[in-house]
Structure 1
Amino acid sequence: MRFAMNHIAAPKLSLEEFFAMARALGATEVEIRNDLPDVVGTRSPAEVKAAADAAGVTIISINALYPFNLWSGDLPDRALAMADYAAACGAKALVMCPLNDGRKVPHSQVVAALDALKPILKSRGLTGLVEPLGFPISSLRTKAEAIAAITETGDDGTFRLVHDTFHHHLAGETQFYPRRTGLVHISGVTDPTVSVAEMLDPHRVLVDGSDRLENVAQIRALLAGGYEGPFSFEPFAPEVHALPDPQSALADSMAGIRAQLEQPA
């Protein structure tokens, strides 16, 4: 397996510091964001590309276009702007997250959104990474739903899945789609008091031996099924963001995951 780094793993670091940390950890693939931290809104794509080139890292995605499955209002304009930014900074893909406020979005609207996004992405050489959110209030909880919509659009490789170990667990999914997956996000939950139904982003820490989400089992299943892409750290917990030495914490998590993978299943 190989690890990648999402900037949310160390949001207090500048873009250049983040890229340097990734390289120091042996990772050459990174994800930048438009929220925490908001690189897209604060740095020009030319600056981002120059920083990535100087550090020797590949920007595998920008997180995230939201809500990709509600193609109305300002979303078309935002999608165009983000796709232009991604192409200009050298990013390979856009992560696309569904509406997550309790409202339902019919399957037909998901397909219509993908149909509208496809020419935008294809003309810029980008992949759309569809990330189901496993929360009970999510309008697209499972990868099976996402695969159905992608297939209906005519599956030509423009869209691939994000397998997020947190959301996979929350949705109660058992099915893996390793050959349809373009990116894996990893994070753990260690709080013993929170129920699965109550798990939220602030519970998401770095993966360690107390992980309740069965990250290692999920990683094993993906690798055994033929997944060959990166595993990118995406912790949302404030205590992780506040770490004075995120590099050491990430190194420990990487070593722990590798050690568990070497043990018999």
Structure 2
Amino acid sequence: MRFAINHITAPTLSLEAFFDAARSLGLTEVEIRNDLPDIVNTTDPALVKTIAEKAGVSIISINALYPFNVWSGDLPARAVALADYAKTSGAKALVMCPLNDGSQVSFDDLVAALKAMKPILQERGLTGLVEPLGFPISSLRTKEEALKAIKAANGEGVYKLVHDTFHHHLAGETTFYPDETGLVHISGVVDPDVSVAKMLDAHRVLVDDADRLENIAQIKALNAAGYAGAYSFEPFAADVHELKDPVGAVRDSIAHINRAI
């Protein structure tokens, strides 16, 4: 399997230490962020590229443009700025997340946003990674709807889906789209008391044998269907962020997944 690691897995690590951690795990693909930690707004993109090249890692994405499906206000300017940063830093793609506050966003507005974002990505040689959020309050919950909007925007070749195992489970999706998937985010939930409807980012930990999200079944299905891209660790739980040995914890999770599949 092709594993990658998102900086939110160990947000207290500096960029150099994070890249070194990835290499110590035998990984060469990483994701950086503009929230936790906020690399985009604190580190010059040319320096990011230099550090990545020195470490021997590829930046497969920057997380994230939000809320990409509400193309108004300062979003167009932020989209251009983030795309410029991605190009200069050597990142290959931008993760794009929908509005997640309980407000509705129409399908037409979703398509319009994808159409508006398309030339920004094309001019910089970037892929747009559309990540539906499975939360009940999300304005775009399913990959099925995202894929319909991408096709309506004539965005094939510019956009790919993010299959997030957490959001796939929350949305109750059963269909896999390996050919249209550009990245898989993996995280587990082990809290036995929280209902699926109440699961939040704060519950997301590394995948182990207590996982409730059926990560192993999802990974097996994706592999069997022909997905050959990266599986990137993206745990949001404070318990993971505060680990004294996050590298060891990720190594254990990789070993568990490899044994299980």
TM bucket normalised to smaller = over 0.9
Moved more, 3-12 or 149-158: 149-158
One-letter code aligned to 2:16: E
CA deviation map 1:46-102 (0-9, x unaligned): 110000000000000000000000000000000000000000000000000000000
Match of 1:199 in 2: 199
How far, CA to CA, are the matches of 1:15 and 1:27 in structure 2?
15
CA deviation map 1:153-184 (0-9, x unaligned): 11431000000000000000001101100000
One-letter code aligned to 1:4: A
Match of 2:181 in 1: 181
How far, CA to CA, are the matches of 1:255 and 1:157 in structure 2?
34
Alignment of 1:101-112 (within 5 A): 101-112=101-112
Moved more, 154-163 or 90-99: 154-163
The percent identity for this pair of structures is 70
Aligned alpha-carbon RMSD (Å): 0.4
How far, CA to CA, are the matches of 1:34 and 1:28 in structure 2?
20
Alignment of 1:185-264 (within 5 A): 185-261=185-261
TM-score, normalising length: structure 1: 0.98
One-letter code aligned to 2:44: S
Q: Secondary structure at the match of 1:114?
A: helix
Q: Secondary structure at the match of 2:250?
A: helix
One-letter code aligned to 1:40: V
How far, CA to CA, are the matches of 1:156 and 1:201 in structure 2?
29
Alignment of 1:63-74 (within 5 A): 63-74=63-74
Asked if 1:115 is matched to 2:120, the reply is: no
Q: Secondary structure at the match of 1:108?
A: helix
TM-score, normalising length: structure 2: 1.00
How far, CA to CA, are the matches of 1:221 and 1:34 in structure 2?
31
Structure 2, unaligned runs of 5 or more: none
Match of 1:25 in 2: 25
Aligned residues: 261
Match of 1:167 in 2: 167
How far, CA to CA, are the matches of 2:197 and 2:2 in structure 1?
30
Q: Secondary structure at the match of 1:169?
A: helix
Q: Secondary structure at the match of 2:61?
A: strand
How far, CA to CA, are the matches of 1:230 and 1:171 in structure 2?
22
Structure 1, unaligned runs of 5 or more: none
One-letter code aligned to 2:168: H
How far, CA to CA, are the matches of 1:6 and 1:156 in structure 2?
25
Q: Secondary structure at the match of 1:102?
A: coil
Q: Secondary structure at the match of 1:166?
A: helix
How far, CA to CA, are the matches of 1:94 and 1:158 in structure 2?
11
Match of 1:39 in 2: 39
How far, CA to CA, are the matches of 2:35 and 2:17 in structure 1?
18
CA deviation map 1:13-40 (0-9, x unaligned): 0000000000110110000000000000
How far, CA to CA, are the matches of 1:21 and 1:172 in structure 2?
34
Match of 2:90 in 1: 90
How far, CA to CA, are the matches of 2:224 and 2:260 in structure 1?
15
